[in-house]
């Protein structure tokens, strides 16, 4: 008599059920990480802004120049004070201080002296690049000042993603020191 040995294995249905369960668990994990986890794009933009501020602070102290930062809802640019004309103007010829736009979905919220500053969507425009950014009725001034003495405007800047309501905070003190914070620390 021949005996057949029966091998035990998984049926196709059992394998499909396990695959569906694993796929569901993985998708839930990925979704929760992307919603509540770190937003690397937001962190990168905050670090970039902080690095640019530190660079401008060094330039201001080394060269005895006064700088400013104009912030928009989804971008920023650096400006320079001209002591001869006593007016603010764009910085030309230096790609480092050009107008910077944030990635889509990322916005800025600015607080100066614990008061929220209403930011425009676009920078103030100049019709003539040789003309300073001012008019008699509405003189231009940036939101943040960086002085040659090393002092600067005290501010709290939130990098905010509206879709997930995530915020990363950057604070600057009067001595130009920058501090990173999280949403719980936000104003």
Pick from 42, 58, 75, 95: nearest CA to 143: 75
Q: Is the pLDDT of residue 137 over 60?
A: no
The runs of H, that is alpha helices, within the chain are 12-36, 40-63
- Name the pLDDT band for 129 (thresholds 50, 70, 90): very low
pLDDT, tens digit, for every residue of 17-47? Answer: 889 899 888 878 766 555 545 589 999 999 9
User: CB neighbours of 46 closer than 8 A, spacing ≥ 6?
Assistant: 159, 168, 170, 180
Phi-psi label, residue 61: left if phi above 0, alpha if psi -120 to 50, beta otherwise: alpha
Walk me through the domains of the chain, giving residue ranges and CATH numbers: 40-123+139-185 (3.55.40.10)
Q: What is the pLDDT of residue 1?
A: 55
Say how many residues make up the chain.
Answer: 187
Q: Is the pLDDT of residue 76 over 90?
A: yes
Rounded CA gap, 178 and 15, in Å? Answer: 54
**60 to each of 36, 80, 140, how far by Cα in Å?**
39, 10, 20
3-state secondary structure of 170: strand
- Name the pLDDT band for 73 (thresholds 50, 70, 90): very high
Between residues 169 and 135, the one the model is more confident about: 169
Q: What is the pLDDT of residue 33?
A: 52
> Residue 154 in contact with residue 112, Cβ under 8 Å?
yes
Q: What is the pLDDT of residue 28?
A: 81
């Amino acid at each position: 008599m021949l005996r057949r040995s029966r091998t035990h294995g998984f049926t196709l249905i059992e394998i499909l059920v396990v695959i569906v369960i694993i796929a569901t668990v993985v998708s839930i994990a990925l979704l929760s990480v992307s919603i509540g986890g770190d937003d690397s794009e937001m962190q990168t933009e905050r670090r970039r802004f902080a690095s640019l501020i530190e660079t401008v602070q060094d330039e201001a102290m080394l060269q005895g120049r006064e700088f400013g930062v104009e912030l928009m809802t989804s971008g920023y640019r650096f400006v320079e004070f001209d002591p001869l004309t006593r007016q603010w103007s764009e910085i030309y010829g230096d790609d480092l201080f050009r107008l910077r736009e944030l990635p889509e979905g990322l916005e800025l919220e600015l607080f100066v002296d614990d008061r929220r500053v209403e930011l425009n969507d676009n920078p103030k425009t100049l019709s003539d690049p040789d003309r300073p950014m001012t008019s008699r009725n509405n003189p231009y001034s940036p939101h943040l000042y960086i002085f040659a003495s090393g002092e600067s405007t005290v501010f709290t800047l939130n990098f905010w993603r509206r879709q997930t309501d995530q915020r990363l905070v950057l604070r600057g003190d009067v001595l130009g020191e920058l501090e990173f914070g999280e949403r719980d620390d936000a104003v």
